[in-house]
Amino acid sequence: MQNNIQAVKQFLLGLQQTIIDALEQQERLGGVDGSSDSKFVIDVWQRDEGGGGRSAVLSGGQVIEKAGVMFSHIHISQLPASATLRHPKLAGSTAQALGVSLVVHPKNPHVPTSHANVRLFVATPNDGSEAIWWFGGGFDLTPFYPNLSDVKHWHQVAHELCQPFGDDVYQQYKAWCDDYFYLPHRGECRGVGGLFYDDVNTDNTGWDFAKCFAFMQAVGQGYLDGIVPIFEQNKHKSYNEQQRQFQLYRRGRYVEYNLVYDRGTLFGLQSNGRTESILVSMPPLAAWEYCYTPATGTPEFELTDFYLKPKDWLAL
């Protein structure tokens, strides 16, 4: 198992750097606000309990207002409640968790916020039985001023990467994403979805470790295949102050979701994780407005009336 963990670790470190390079390229090419040489600041850290990570954060760019691309490989002496809720027999087990997680908050309201995560858990039960492993992850898109072609492109990428793994994989993990990234107290989805999966192992999918790992690799590459064209289609569009304020208002929903519902945030905090890395997903600026209701027929109204509801996007 240790050889498998090392292979996944090397892939994840390479994926992190590939994404960093692609996002810095978007910054150099510029947008409506110009270009910049803003780069990711790399922070390598160690964890007292074992393991550590490599965090990369870009702030204050002309294209990207804030982005965090985080790699971690941590050792856990006792799995927290957020992990064992679905795996009660593993309560108190030791574990390793490794993955890449990222959130990108663009400056231009016409470019969506995006998120991706790929991870591997390996838990060792206290009774000395064989280690239990599973993969999880996915990606999702949170637009402010969406257009249908971008949403269809995003889901087409998701569909194509899933297809080699089974005809039903896209629909299963798309539906899971729609259900997972949902704010019950607002009655709306966080965005237009994508893919979300967890507990991917031989017992649940029939795939061996190599095939599960191949799916992780496909999702990691799929994020870039999906987001880079969306950046290039939208980052040169002009915007006004009203659109900027709407972007900040909608970012408030992102904060609400991450702090109230996101399992990754809860797991990080409950496992004594590195707070700066856990909360790097927060936008640099966000806003809340009391009882705001967009006017019927406006793009702001269309966002919640049409886009933030689960749909078969590829059929539209």
Residues annotated as catalytic (active site), given as ranges: 115
Q: Which residues pair with 182 in a beta bridge?
A: 189
Closest CA to 253 of 189, 199, 198, 176: 189
**At how many degrees (to 10) do helices 209-234 and 2-29 cross?**
10
Contact 197, 136 (CB under 8 A): yes
CA angle (288, 289, 294) in 5-degree steps: 120
- Starting at the edge strand found earlier in the chain, the sheet holding 193-200 runs 41-46, 51-59, 64-76, 94-106, 113-124, 132-142, 193-200
Burial profile 3-20: b = 16 or more Cβ within 10 angstroms, e = fewer = eebeebbebbeebbbebb
CA distance 309 to 222: 23
DSSP3 helix / strand / coil % (the chain, rounded to 5): 45, 25, 30
Residues in the chain: 316
Burial status of residue 141 (CB atoms within 10 A of its CB: 0-12, 13-18, 19 or more)? buried
CA distance 34 to 32: 5
